[in-house]
Amino acid sequence: MNFLKNILSTILGVFIAFGIFFFLLILIASAIETDEVIEVKTQSVLKVTFDESILKDYAPKDESPLGILMEMDSDYLGLDQVLNAIEKAKTDENIEGISIEMKFLNAGMAQIQTLRKKLLEFKETGKFISAYADFYDQKNYYLSSAADSIFINPLGLVEFRGLSTEVLYYKDFEDKYGVKMEVIRHGKYKSAAEPFLFNKMSDENREQIKSFLTSIWDEMVKEIAVNRNKTAAELNILADNLGGRSADLASQNGLVDQVAYHDEYDSFLKRTIGIENDKILNTISLKDYIKAEKGRKTSVATDKIAIIYAQGEMIYGKGNQEFVGQELMIKSILKAKKDKDIKAIVLRINSPGGVAITADMIWRELELAKKEKPIVVSMGNLAASGGYYIACNANKIYAEPTTITGSIGVYGLIPNIHKFSETIGINAEQVSTNKAPNYSLFEPMTDDFNKVTQQSVEIIYNTFLNRVSTGRNMSVEKVDAIAQGRVWSGKEALKNGLVDELGSMEDAIKYAALIANTTDFKTVNYPQFKKEWKDAFDMVPFIKSSKTKMLKEELGEAQYQLYETMKNVSKLEGVQARLPYVLEIK
């Protein structure tokens, strides 16, 4: 009896402790949710710096106390908020100009290109843009080249050397440790899961990567050349010879305008806005400017354009801010379809694809919605494989020249540890009631199982071809010729008919409004996220961020990226419609 009482009292104590814990969470969140008034002072300079923030297309905020608490240390900044803030600054009498002061720029090329265009629009108002950095990596320099004046620390450098990427190959690792990925792919799909099949890059894969990297680089060089008053040929010579490898060389070669310390740069800003050097320079950070309600569009219009964001890898399930799941996406599409005030849908895609059935379920819901309302696609950094799958049936597709898209292909990855289990003395024995081929993690894949799985891959690939054929009004043969998993830049995709026009999300919104026959409208964003109590047990972002930081410190950046890649691969389920490798362009 005493034992039972002790058990019950322990359970009761746990519930009371959790109750107190959640009460404290609410108190802390309420304390955080004070109305902080951020003042934009006269003669201010808007300081654009992301520091360690990751620029996402869409970084929604949950305004509930729990949501506020769990987003306290958010590493994300929404591109939509940034663009709206710069748009507001164009007509803000208190903002004299913009100072770009980047350390690191965690953003994709298409996002940077969009942001750069908005900065150029800002300059057209007559206000100034200046840039300062201790050193410039290529992404930072690409963005900062939009400035009127570029400053650099005397011991800094401009990393201007052309684009490159690196693909990790695991074949030797698999052979060494007996842990491998069984790959089942469409026959002509040369680069699908290539890193798990070979120990070096195939000629076909090298050709396609070189092609879209060159396309993106040419676009960057063309834009930089205009603002730095140089030719593309001159810039390529500087890239070949590392013409920015020191601050003095960068200045001599016209990559920057002035070599100076930060206090000298501050004096320059003061002179530019017409205040004395001994006076305080009023600056406001981009984050604070957004908090001052400068990152939101306000409108009293009745008509609406829905912007539905598909960002992240595609998984089967609900989805969240990090991953595209069919549940949240279908819910968002249905809401937009049923709302009579919503006249059109813009689907913003930033995804390398993922689970094939998830892409198909989203495609189906979009196809149904298109019968009632026009759908326009805006492609961000990535709209590849499953990301292209959900785009192909839109009324019109926009891509940035630097978008990575295509990769029309599917494959299956199935882990196998047969050799490893033999090494450590594990033997698995199977018993079945029927003759249908089964798969065991501990046994080699049988020919029969390979055959039926290959059939599934072929069915999904052919379905993919037909979806694109219908959506793009092409023959299946023509789609197949540009498919096979081939990856394209947005510029290349325009030429082969996978996209309709090069342009930003603003262009896509304008076109959606045009075909919906509305001129006075406001935009609404989907999906809408809300933290649930069960999420508090994850202690995000505290545990997550500290765990990530610890792993990076222990493993180093390169090994951490390998760990992340292998961890994500281990989670893959079912046939995949995704980019066949992880690409980080630098």
How many alpha carbons lie under 13 Å from residue 60 in its C-beta half-sphere? 20
Q: What is the DSSP string of 350-364?
A: EE-EEEHHHHHHHHH
Q: Any idea what DSSP says for residue 519?
A: S
In 3D space, the residue among 521, 75, 89, 64 whose CA is nearest the CA of residue 307 turns out to be: 521
Beta strands at 501-502 and 411-416: parallel, antiparallel or unpaired: unpaired
Whether residue 437 has a cis bond before it, omega within 30° of 0: no
* φ/ψ (deg, to 5) at 129: -135, 125
Tally the C-alpha atoms within 13 A of residue 102's C-alpha that lie toward its C-beta.
26
339: which DSSP letter? -
Three-state secondary-structure class, residue 293: helix
- Judged by DSSP in three states, 409 sits in coil
Element holding 328 (H helix, E strand): helix 326-338
Q: Which residues are catalytic?
A: 190, 385
65/49 Cα distance (integer angstroms): 28
Angle formed by the axes of helices 79-91 and 109-123, to 10°? Answer: 10
> Which stretch of DSSP H or E encloses residue 562?
helix 557-570
Contacts of 273 (CB under 8 A, 6+ apart): 43, 45, 96, 97
CB-based contact 324:358 (threshold 8 Å):
yes
Per the DSSP assignment, residues forming a β-bridge with 48 are 100
What's the maximum distance between 2 C-alpha atoms anywhere in the chain? 88
Measured in degrees and rounded to the nearest 5, phi and psi for residue 57 equal -60, -40
* Cα separation, 198 vs 396, whole angstroms: 38
510 contact partners, CB below 8 Å, separation of at least 6: none
